[in-house]
Amino acid sequence: MSARIAVLPGDGIGPEIVAEAGKVLACLQQDFGLVAEIEQAAVGGAGYDAAGDPLPEATLALCREADAILFGAIGGPAYDGLERELRPEKGLLRLRSELGLFSNLRPAILYPQLAEASSLKRELVAGLDLMIVRELTGGIYFGQPRGIRELDSGEREGFNTLVYAEHEIERIARSACEIAMLREGKLCSVDKANVLEVSELWREVVSAVAADYPGIELSHLYVDNASMQLVRAPKQFDVMVTSNMFGDILSDTAAMLTGSIGMLPSASLDADGKGMYEPIHGSAPDIAGEGLANPLATILSLAMLMRYSLGQGELAQRIEAAVGQVLDQGLRTADIAAAGEAVATAVMGDAVVAALRAQT
Ligand code: IPM
Ligand code: MG
């Protein structure tokens, strides 16, 4: 059966890094028997330029049809002045919401070859392998009402709503438990239950769900403490589960522990395993088009796509092994290079393809 993969390059460095993942995809088709139909569509600022909408109708339709989506990055200064509904970020948020991609997996893995790239001491991060499971379609990102209103006094007031229904907490907790069961079984739920009622409910529901999994060792941390623990002793964590906004923040911190946000992939899954896969770094408009971007996070996102949505765990391992090989060979893009020895985006992509081919 042919898998359908939608490819959305987006803005900034998105097209460059997705092009390199495209080479890997083509290699899987040519040399490793992958049968896939691949179709590209515009999203974010590119969607706005093409169709006046950061999530054009045709793009959403293609994504609905697809088994999996490979996403580059969105956003750039050219679009910052647009009204909120038309901004690139809205395209990404609507995709997550329309497709029900509620479970966001953000691994933070330190590649031994890159231990020196971390801003933390080597012994604190050596061997780090943690997974943040972030709720992605609820919470304050989507809660209603929201807006900016004028008070009687004439002063303006901004407001958003933090809301989680039980079923939303339950399904993300289940997702996190399933993932923890495949790992060390240690799950830390992060909330702000000392202040927020939403978090009180969160804690109660997560505890009830985890009780269904005897193999899970559940702990709870307040988000302020969790952020401190992440930079104090990150290896204490195996899987962390948290709400949309806390996960947004903690996953950037966790990413930086590994030295380069340019290395980290992510998956956003619906209830049936359909998913969207994207590097966790953004569109980096300041370096777009210069061949400086690191394509490995996108290539590793493709590996996650193979594993979680196409059931091709072996191909995923092959991609990951090829990435390990190019790091062993000493290849580094600017973001992970010590001074002066960086290779260009396309050189890195070609090297991964060569390493893959060498496996045949
Ligand atoms: C992320 C990003 C997005 C988010 C932005 C671009 C809307 O920061 O994926 O972490 O906040 O979710
Ligand atoms: Mg973020």
Residues 85-132 pLDDT 10s: 999 999 999 999 999 999 999 999 998 888 888 889 999 999 999 999
Determine the pLDDT at residue 113.
87
**Helices and strands, counts by H and E, the chain:** 12, 12
Do 99 and 172 fall within a single domain? no
One domain for residues 157 and 97: no
- The reply to whether 90 and 171 lie within a common domain is no
How many angstroms does the Cα of residue 14 sit away from the middle of ligand 1?
Answer: 15
In single-letter form, the type of residue at position 353 comes to V
Two tokens at 19? 């092009």
In a domain, 42, yes or no: yes
From 141, 164, 277, 308, active-site residue: 141
Residue 248 annotated as catalytic = yes
More confident residue, 119 or 192: 192
Q: Is residue 287 part of a domain?
A: yes
Is residue 269 domain-resident?
no
Q: At which of 212, 229, 257 does a domain end?
A: 257
Asked, as a colleague might, if the bond just before 88 is cis with ω within 30 of 0, I would say: no
**Pocket-testing residue among 55, 93, 94, 264, ligand 1, by greatest number of atoms within 8 A of Cβ:** 93
The domain of 194 spans 129-257
Distance 33 CA to ligand 1 centre (A): 34
Ligand having the closest approach to the CA of 249: 2
Confidence of residue 233 (pLDDT cuts 50, 70, 90): very high
Count the domains in the chain: 2
CA of 250 to the centre of ligand 2 (A): 9
Q: What are phi and psi of 106, to 5 degrees?
A: -125, 95
| Shared domain check, 162 and 221 | yes
Residues 6+ apart with CB under 8 A from 103: 133, 135, 136, 171, 172, 175, 176, 268, 269, 270
Report the pocket of ligand 1 as residue ranges, CB < 6 Å.
Answer: 89, 92-93, 248
Say what the pLDDT of residue 110 is. Answer: 92
Q: How far apart are CA 66 and CA 235, in angstroms?
A: 37
Do 63 and 30 share a structural domain? Answer: yes
Report residue 33's pLDDT band, with 50, 70 and 90 as the boundaries: very high
Tell me, yes or no, whether 173 lies in a domain. yes
Using 50, 70 and 90 to split pLDDT, how confident is the model at 271? very high
- Pocket mutation for ligand 1, best pick of 71, 92, 132, 268 (most atoms within 8 Å of C-beta): 92
**C-beta atoms surrounding 226 within 10 Å:** 22
Q: Which atom of ligand 1 is nearest to the CA of 248?
A: 10
Question: So what's the pLDDT on residue 337?
Answer: 86
CA atoms 277, 281, 284, 287: torsion sign? negative
- The one-character DSSP state at 44 is T
Determine whether 152 is an active site residue: no
How many CB atoms sit inside 10 A of residue 133's CB? 26
318 inside domain = yes
d(CA 211, ligand 2 centre) in Å? 30
Single out the catalytic residue among 192, 277, 308, 335. 192
Q: Mark whether 192 is an active-site residue.
A: yes
Whose Cα sits closest to atom 7 in ligand 1? 89
The band of 273, judged by pLDDT with boundaries at 50, 70 and 90, is confident
Q: Give 129's strand partners.
A: 109
141 in catalytic set: yes
Report residue 339's pLDDT band, with 50, 70 and 90 as the boundaries.
Answer: low
Q: 248 and 283: one domain?
A: no
What is the mean pLDDT of the segment spanning 31-35?
Answer: 97
Predicted structure pTM score: 0.93
One domain, residues 95 and 175: no
Whole-number mean pLDDT of the chain?
A: 96
Residue 11 a catalytic site member: no
Domain assignment present for 116: no
Q: Name the DSSP class of 193.
A: T
- For tokens 């088009």, name the residue: 289
Mean pLDDT of the region 36-53:
98
Q: How far is the CA of 231 from the centre of ligand 2 (A)?
A: 18
Identify whether residues 296 and 204 lie together within a single domain: no
Tell which one of 13, 71, 89, 278 to mutate to probe ligand 1, the residue whose CB is within 8 A of the most ligand atoms: 89
Is position 264 within any domain? no
Instruction: Name the residue with the closest Cα to ligand 1, atom 8.
Output: 248
* Res. 8 pLDDT band, cuts 50 70 90: very high
Do residue 212 and residue 308 come from a single domain? no
For ligand 1, atom 4, the nearest C-alpha belongs to 248
Which of 196, 227, 257 terminates a domain? The answer is 257
Residue whose structure tokens are 């050596």: 126
Same-domain status, 166 and 250 = yes
226, 299: one domain: no
pLDDT of residue 349: 98
CA 248 / ligand 2 centre spacing (Å): 4
SS3 state at 134: strand
User: Residue 100, class by beta-carbon neighbours within 10 Å (0-12 exposed, 13-18 middle, 19+ buried)?
Assistant: middle
Q: How confident is the model at residue 340 (pLDDT cuts 50, 70, 90)?
A: low
Mean pLDDT for 131-158 is 98
Cα dihedral sign, 62-64-66-69: positive
Measured between alpha carbons, how far is 230 from 223 in angstroms, rounded to an integer? 10
CATH number at residue 165: 3.40.718.10
State both tokens at 133. 């499971």
Token representation of residue 45: 């600022």
Q: Residues 143, 245: one domain? A: yes
Q: Does residue 110 lie in a domain region?
A: no
